[in-house]
Structure 1
Amino acid sequence: MTAEPLEIYLEQQDLERGLREDVRAGLTAAAKWLPPKWFYDSRGSELFEEITRLPEYYPTRAERVVLAEHADDIAAVTGAKTLIELGSGSSEKTRLLLDAFTRQGGLGTFVPLDVSVSALAGSTAQIAADYPGLRVRGIVGDFTRQLDRLPTGGRRLVAFLGGTIGNLLPAERAEFLAAMRAALEAGDWLLLGTDLVKDPAVIVPAYDDAAGVTAEFNRNVLHVINRELGADFDPDAFTHVARWDPSHEWIEMRLRATRPMRVRVLDLTVEFAEGEELRTEVSAKFRPEGIAAELGAAGFVASEFWTDPQGLFGVTLARAC
């Protein structure tokens, strides 16, 4: 079976407008910031794939261990007819779930949602070829804005993996989970991947690897802004910073100006003092009781919670109630 034509709810002009709005808001704030989603042009996506293979970067490997161990349990418990994946990318880990559902029988439709048309076109074609009995419906959209576009009917399982929910600030997480619950019916399921609180000596190197790949990934956001908005950032004038914040239990990635500089972007002139930092990512780490509480506040009940043998990463299966 071939993949169905992509359903596009996020056009290029939407992405361009969103980038302009985020750059204007973030670079005029008292403490400058940019959201991490703008790392991911084609080069940024390649760099992130490289990061996931680095020895320091444990989340991808640990989550894969959990999914490999419990994919059959997930298929059996949920009995899902439709599997939806948010921020799907290559859908590589999701194949563990698709294999389990294939063994179980009953899954009819796979719906990956991603902002990238090219990535989604490639992954949906490959999934359709590898799972010939499966209907594959790719949706081009932003998971923070297009949850109302998810297909309805049948028993659904939404997979939100990779710890991506940690990139949302607490108020944003609450808003996202409430919107997720509103998009589902009682009895539908959510599979949520979360990186767990642990020794910062394990966490920090995952965001500051010895080879400097994460540093290049971090600076890529400046290359994106230069290319898309005609800015004149000098990416080499910023150093990569990864810092653990124990009060919030999250890690922050920042770019630190190595000299005073003046950057022109849009109709702005943005001043950076030497040593001034631009926050580019927050990655929250979670405790099991906190995950359950946040899900409960949004109208979910945590049914199962699994970790890898080292307790690095958690996967929660929750039911909409």
Structure 2
Amino acid sequence: MHELLPNFIEAPATVPARHAAELAAGLLSRPARVAPKHLYDPLGCRLFEAITALPEYTATRTEAAILAVHGAEIVRALGTGMTLVDLGAGNCAKAASLFSLLQPARYVAVDIAADFIRDALQALQLRHPALPMTGVALDFSQALALPEALGGGQRLMFYPGSSIGNFEPAHARRFLRQAREQCQGGALLIGVDLVKPLAQLLPAYDDALGVTAAFNRNLLLNVNRQLGSDFDPADWAHLACFDPAASRIEMHLRALRAVRVRWDGQQRDFAPGDTIHTENSYKYRIEQFDALLHEAGWSDTRCWTDSEQGFAVFGAKA
């Protein structure tokens, strides 16, 4: 059997200068903000892997169980043999667990963390030497446009783990529309975290071991590398809260003392208690997200959940 090597494509949108300009604008805004994509440097990716193993964070395990229980139904609804496009692939483990089920003709792993996805894909190719694989380093947080070099063919767009919740609803609708345009008449398989009691929601973002706090504060070190700033994580505390009106968890970093942050001739003063908004995670009702899919142009939608309806996996056709 001929052994393949994964290809890699790095999109221009991942260039450092663009990220630095975006970071500076966010830090100078009021209130300050940093996009959640900056949580995922190599250490951030590994910290997030640790978060998914915590007892408080059930989404990953629940999603895996849904896919295992309803795998045959999912295949009947969506089909097999397409190019599997794994959006926000991370360590590629979620998609890899579906290879035998979905029988992809090709696997495309898309992630903003170029070095992390390169290492993960090289290891995965060794375990699946006959499956063509391509890694794409791409920041799709603003717009999803896959490189033309990927070629044609029907695509199954796979976006697991409830990352769609990081987008504002209007942005989520636009993203879902772009995903449909990019799937070449294929299908979508997407994970969505559902509305649940606050006693279940908050601990998932503020765990007892402080892993999520470390994940959030590590963002500051990533900002320092990209922007040349002088954040000290010891000056900041992790804060997670729920906005019931927006139906979203918010993550912030809260200044513990007066802080002046400098970078490239600019600076920002933070008073004690000032925050930097680092992430939103919207929680949907089943009928609400189904409507969002139809608004984005998807059809033949299906939904599979766990017995407590705390998480949902949606399938749809383009």
Instruction: Give the counterpart of 1:276 among 274, 277, 282.
Output: 274
Kindly indicate whether residue 58 of structure 2 is the aligned counterpart of residue 52 of structure 1: no
Aligned partner of 1:27 in structure 2 is 27
In 1, Cα distance between equivalents of 2:76 and 2:125: 23
Q: Which residue of 2 aligns with 1:300?
A: 298
Q: Which residue of 1 aligns with 2:132?
A: 135
8 Å contact kept, 1:10–1:115? no
Match of 1:37 in 2: 37
Please state whether the residue corresponding to 1:253 is helix, strand or coil.
strand
2:122 aligns to what SS in structure 1?
Answer: helix
**What is the Cα deviation at residue 233 of structure 1?**
1.5
1:115 aligns with 2:112: yes
> For residues 31-59 of structure 1, what are the alpha-carbon distances to aligned partners after superposition, in whole Å with 9 as ceiling and x for unaligned?
11111111111111111111111111111
Within the alignment, does 1:182 sit opposite 2:181 as a pair?
A: yes
Alignment of 1:199-278 (within 5 A): 199-278=197-276
Q: Does 1:196 align with 2:198?
A: no
Q: Secondary structure at the match of 1:176?
A: helix
Moved more, 77-86 or 309-318: 77-86
Query: Does structure 2 conserve the Cα–Cα contact (< 8 Å) formed by 1:167 and 1:284?
Result: yes
RMSD: 1.8
Amino acid at match of 1:5: N
**Residue aligned with 2:272, SS:** coil
Match of residue 173 from structure 1? 172
| Letter aligned with residue 89 of structure 2 | S
2:155 is the alignment partner of 1:156: yes
Shift of 1:108: 1.5
Q: Distance in 2 between matches of 1:133 and 1:199?
A: 45
Match of 1:126 in 2: 123
Shift of 1:302: 4.7
SS of 1:137's partner is strand
Alignment-mate amino acid for residue 98 of structure 2: L
Structure 1: gaps of 5 or more residues? none
Moved more, 83-92 or 71-80: 71-80
- Report deviation, 1:152: 4.7
Distance (whole Å) between structure 2 residues aligned to residue 177 and residue 253 of structure 1: 24
Per the alignment, residue 307 of structure 2 pairs with 309
Give the number of equivalent residue pairs.
Answer: 313
1:99 corresponds to which residue?
A: 100
What is the identity, as a one-letter code, of the residue corresponding to 1:52?
A: T
Deviation at 1:134, TM superposition (A): 1.7
Stretches of structure 2 that go unaligned for 5 or more consecutive residues are none
The one-letter code of the counterpart of 1:62 is: T
Report SS of the residue matched to 2:97. helix
CA distance in 2, matches of 1:119, 1:30: 32
Q: TM-score, normalised by structure 2?
A: 0.92
Distance 1:148 1:125, change over 3 A: closer
User: 1:61-116: per-residue Cα shift (whole Å, max 9, x none)?
Assistant: 111111111223323332232111111111111123112134xxxx3111111123
Give 1:7's aligned residue: 9
Contact 1:68/1:96 (<8 A) preserved: no
Distance in 1 (alpha carbons) for counterparts of 2:57 and 2:87: 21
Q: Which residue of 1 aligns with 2:16?
A: 16
Q: Which residue of 2 aligns with 1:79?
A: 79
Post-superposition Cα deviations, 1:159-186, rounded to whole Å, max 9, x if no partner, equal: 0111111111122212212211222334
Q: Secondary structure at the match of 1:198?
A: coil
Stretch deviating more after TM superposition (86-95 or 239-248):
86-95
What SS does the corresponding residue of 2:172 show, helix, strand or coil? helix
Distance 1:136 1:276, change over 3 A: same
Q: Distance in 2 between matches of 1:302 and 1:117?
A: 34
Q: Deviations over 1:259-310 (max 9, x none)?
A: 1221112332101111111111001111111111111111002521011222
In 1, Cα distance between the equivalents of 2:10 and 2:225? Answer: 24
SS of residue matched to 1:111: strand
Cα distance 1:15–1:72, how it changes in 2: closer, same or farther (>3 A)? farther
Distance 1:2 1:201 in 2: 48
**In the alignment, is the contact (CA less than 8 A) between 1:163 and 1:195 conserved in 2?**
yes
Partner of 2:287: 289
Give the deviation of 1:230 after TM superposition: 2.2
Q: What is the one-letter code of the residue matched to 1:261? A: V
